[in-house]
Amino acid sequence: MENLLVWSLILIPWLSALGIFLLRKHLAAVFLTAFNLLVLTALSLYLWFNGNFPVTLQTPKFLDWIITIYDYGLLFYFLKQGWEHKNKAVSLLAVIQLILLTWALLIMPHSDIGNLYIDKLSVFMYLIVATVGSLITLFATRYMQDEDPSREAEFVAILVWFLGVMNFAVSVNNIEWFFALFETTTLASYLLIRFRRDEISFKNALLALWMNQIGGIAILLALLFAVHKYGITHFTQLLQHKEVALFPLAFLSAAALVKGAQMPFHRWLLGAMVAPTPVSAILHSATMVKIAPYLILRLSPVLQNTLLAKLLIIYTGFVFVVTALLALNEVHFKRILAYSTISLLALMMLAGAVGTPLAITVALMLIAFHALAKALLFLEAGVMEKLYKAKTIYDMKHLINKAPVTVFFILVGFLSMTMVPFAMFVAKWLLISEMAQLLSKASYIITVGILALGGAILTVLYLKILGIAINRDEETFKVKLEKQPFLYAFPNTVYVALILLATLLISPVLAHLFAPITADIVNQAPNFATDTLDVVVDNLRLPFWQIVIAFFFVVVFPIIAHFIHFKADRAPEYTCGEPLKVQISTYNMVCLEKAYPYLEMVALALFVLVLIIGGGML
Partner 1 sequence: MKTLLLVLAILAPLLGGVIYGLERKVKARMQNRMGPPILQPFYDFFKLADKRPLQVHSFHSLMGIAFFLAAWFAVFSLMVGPNLLVAIFLHVLALLFITAGGFSVKSPYSVMGALRELAHILAAEPILVFAVVGLYLASGSWNVIDILHSEPPPLLKMPLVFAVLLLTLPILLKKSPFDISEAHQEIIGGWEIEFSGIYYEAVYTAKWLEYIFVYFIIFLFGGANYLLGLGLVLLAFLFVALIDNSTTRLTIHHMVKFSLGVLLPLAAFNVFWVALWGH
Q: Does 480 bind partner 1 (CB under 8 A)?
A: no
Q: Does 602 bind partner 1 (CB under 8 A)?
A: no
Please report how close the Cβ of residue 482 comes to partner 1 at its closest, in angstroms: 17
Q: Considering only CA atoms, which of 225, 276, 273 is closest in space to residue 249? A: 225
Q: Does 481 bind partner 1 (CB under 8 A)?
A: no
Give the number of other Cβ atoms within 10 Å of residue 55's Cβ: 16
Beta bridge partners of 57: 116
Q: Does 478 bind partner 1 (CB under 8 A)?
A: no
Please report how close the Cβ of residue 104 comes to partner 1 at its closest, in angstroms: 43
Q: Does 580 bind partner 1 (CB under 8 A)?
A: yes
Instruction: Report the residue number, 112 or 573, with the smaller CB distance to partner 1.
Output: 573
* Residue 79 phi, psi (nearest 5): -60, -45
Using CB under 8 A, which of the segments 170-178, 203-211, 435-443, 607-615 binds partner 1?
A: 435-443
In whole angstroms, what is the distance from residue 48 CA to residue 125 CA?
11
Burial class (CB in 10 A: 0-12, 13-18, 19+), 38: exposed
With CB under 8 A as the contact rule, the residue among 500, 586, 592, 616 that binds partner 1 is 586
With CB under 8 A as the contact rule, the residue among 99, 481, 584, 601 that binds partner 1 is 584
Q: Considering only CA atoms, which of 38, 63, 46 is closest in space to residue 2? A: 46
- List the interface residues with partner 1, window 194-223 (CB under 8 A): none
Q: Count of residues binding partner 1 (CB under 8 A)?
A: 66
With CB under 8 A as the contact rule, the residue among 567, 579, 597, 618 that binds partner 1 is 567
In whole angstroms, what is the distance from residue 32 CA to residue 39 CA?
10
In whole angstroms, what is the distance from residue 57 CA to residue 475 CA?
63
- List the interface residues with partner 1, window 541-560 (CB under 8 A): 541-543, 546, 549-550, 553-554, 557
Give residue 247's identity as a one-letter amino acid code.
F
Instruction: Report the residue number, 446 or 498, with the smaller CB distance to partner 1.
Output: 446
Instruction: Report the residue number, 567 or 594, with the smaller CB distance to partner 1.
Output: 567
Q: Does 395 bind partner 1 (CB under 8 A)?
A: no
Using CB under 8 A, which of the segments 50-58, 193-201, 212-220, 577-585 binds partner 1?
A: 577-585
Please report how close the Cβ of residue 480 comes to partner 1 at its closest, in angstroms: 15
For 577: left if phi > 0, alpha if psi spans -120 to 50, otherwise beta; the answer is: left
How many whole angstroms from its chain centre is CA 405?
A: 25
Give the number of other Cβ atoms within 10 Å of residue 402's Cβ: 13
DSSP letter assigned to residue 394: G
With CB under 8 A as the contact rule, the residue among 11, 22, 42, 456 that binds partner 1 is 456
Please report how close the Cβ of residue 557 comes to partner 1 at its closest, in angstroms: 6
Q: Does 595 bind partner 1 (CB under 8 A)?
A: no
Q: Does 69 bind partner 1 (CB under 8 A)?
A: no
DSSP letter assigned to residue 542: E
Residues 6+ apart with CB under 8 A from 112: none
Please report how close the Cβ of residue 604 comes to partner 1 at its closest, in angstroms: 24
Using CB under 8 A, which of the segments 131-139, 161-169, 486-494, 574-582 binds partner 1?
A: 574-582
With CB under 8 A as the contact rule, the residue among 4, 571, 590, 618 that binds partner 1 is 571
Instruction: Report the residue number, 574 or 598, with the smaller CB distance to partner 1.
Output: 574
DSSP letter assigned to residue 229: I
- Are 255 and 222 spatial neighbours (Cβ–Cβ below 8 Å)? yes
Q: Does 55 bind partner 1 (CB under 8 A)?
A: no
Q: Does 479 bind partner 1 (CB under 8 A)?
A: no
With CB under 8 A as the contact rule, the residue among 66, 442, 481, 612 that binds partner 1 is 442
* Residue 259 phi, psi (nearest 5): -65, -35
Instruction: Report the residue number, 475 or 531, with the smaller CB distance to partner 1.
Output: 475
H or E element that contains 118:
strand 116-118
- Are 397 and 468 spatial neighbours (Cβ–Cβ below 8 Å)? yes
Residue 540 DSSP SS3: strand
- Are 93 and 213 spatial neighbours (Cβ–Cβ below 8 Å)? yes
For 270: left if phi > 0, alpha if psi spans -120 to 50, otherwise beta; the answer is: alpha
- List the interface residues with partner 1, window 270-309 (CB under 8 A): none
Instruction: Report the residue number, 100 or 346, with the smaller CB distance to partner 1.
Output: 346
Beta bridge partners of 536: 541
Give residue 341's identity as a one-letter amino acid code.
T
Please report how close the Cβ of residue 359 comes to partner 1 at its closest, in angstroms: 16
**Can you give the length of the chain in residues?**
618
With CB under 8 A as the contact rule, the residue among 13, 352, 455, 491 that binds partner 1 is 455
Q: Considering only CA atoms, which of 333, 310, 348 is closest in space to residue 454? A: 348
Using CB under 8 A, which of the segments 120-128, 344-352, 376-384, 569-577 binds partner 1?
A: 569-577
With CB under 8 A as the contact rule, the residue among 445, 529, 548, 602 that binds partner 1 is 445
Q: Does 89 bind partner 1 (CB under 8 A)?
A: no
**Residue 545 CA: distances (Å) to CA of 369, 421, 504, 551, 559:** 22, 10, 10, 10, 20
Instruction: Report the residue number, 171 or 443, with the smaller CB distance to partner 1.
Output: 443
Q: Does 572 bind partner 1 (CB under 8 A)?
A: yes
Give the number of other Cβ atoms within 10 Å of residue 552's Cβ: 12
Please report how close the Cβ of residue 362 comes to partner 1 at its closest, in angstroms: 14
Cβ-count burial 373-384 (b if 16+ within 10 Å, e if not): bbbbbbbbbbbb
With CB under 8 A as the contact rule, the residue among 4, 27, 106, 568 that binds partner 1 is 568
Q: Considering only CA atoms, which of 312, 302, 311 is closest in space to residue 244? A: 302
Please report how close the Cβ of residue 549 comes to partner 1 at its closest, in angstroms: 6
| Residues at the interface with partner 1 (CB under 8 A) | 415, 419-420, 425, 429, 432-433, 436-437, 439-440, 442, 445-446, 448-449, 451-453, 455-457, 459-460, 463-464, 466-468, 470-476, 539-543, 546, 549-550, 553-554, 557, 561-562, 564-575, 580, 582, 584, 586-587
